[in-house]
Structure 1
Amino acid sequence: MTPLDKPLRREVQIGDETYTLTLDPEGLKLVLKGHRKGVDLRWADLVNGDAALAKALQASLAAP
């Protein structure tokens, strides 16, 4: 198996929008193509079951 030691970027089409998915040793990030801000999810949060909590916290911090 190949270790994930540097960022791996792929484009993904979701509906009519194109996103960039970046996988790195810390986690994953999904960003609308051409933008900088997106959704971050750390691997530790995912395996600990804290992914939903982390997502809710990010959403609350991004709210105006």
Structure 2
Amino acid sequence: MPITDRSREMYLLHEALARAHMEERQREAELHRRAAHVRAARKMKRRAEVASLRARRALALAVMQ
């Protein structure tokens, strides 16, 4: 069966559409990874702030005694 110009155009169109979908999925995955990284960084920052506050309180108590 010979490949006509129209069937070739349809093939290329479907191929381009599949590529666009794949690229969109990759962009979404990258956004999710970045969001997870930001969430983890915020969580670590908060834990560090809490630890710092506890250390300051402990130091203040030690100095007062």
- TM-score past 0.5 threshold: no
Structure (1 or 2) with the larger CA radius of gyration? 2
TM-score range, shorter chain: under 0.3
**Normalised by the size of structure 1, how large is the TM-score?**
0.24
Of Structure 1 and Structure 2, the greater helix share is in 2
